[in-house]
Amino acid sequence: MKSPEYSEDCKEIFALISDYLDLELSPDGCAEIEAHIAGCPSCIEFVESLRKTIDLCRLYHPSEVPEPIGQQAREQLLNAYRNAMAARGRPV
């Protein structure tokens, strides 16, 4: 199976997801992730494994008070992120 190609924009999205895992993602970052994923087939497979990231992003809606994610959810996200990185077999 051919590996999808990731653009520089994609790498920015991966960095934003990493920020999210560090609880440092801004609402603008969430919006950027959602907007990019909507138009980037290459990222869909990766993001599917991080579906909870996108769902949790909605907690950061500017009109709502952000809620901290639970430790278990954070570990699940981190594991999914690491697995996705490892599956690509090359540095981002």
Residues that bind Zn ion (CB under 5 A): 10, 40, 42-43
- 10 Å Cβ neighbour count for 38? 9
Nearer to Zn ion, 42 or 66 (CB): 42
For the bound state, the minimum distance from the C-beta of residue 74 to Zn ion, rounded and expressed in Å, comes to 23
| 29, 31, 32, 36: CA torsion to nearest 10 | 150
Nearer to Zn ion, 21 or 33 (CB): 33
Task: Measure the CA–CA gap between 80 and 48, rounded to whole angstroms.
Answer: 10
For the bound state, the minimum distance from the C-beta of residue 68 to Zn ion, rounded and expressed in Å, comes to 27
Nearer to Zn ion, 36 or 52 (CB): 36
Provide the 8-state DSSP code for 35: H
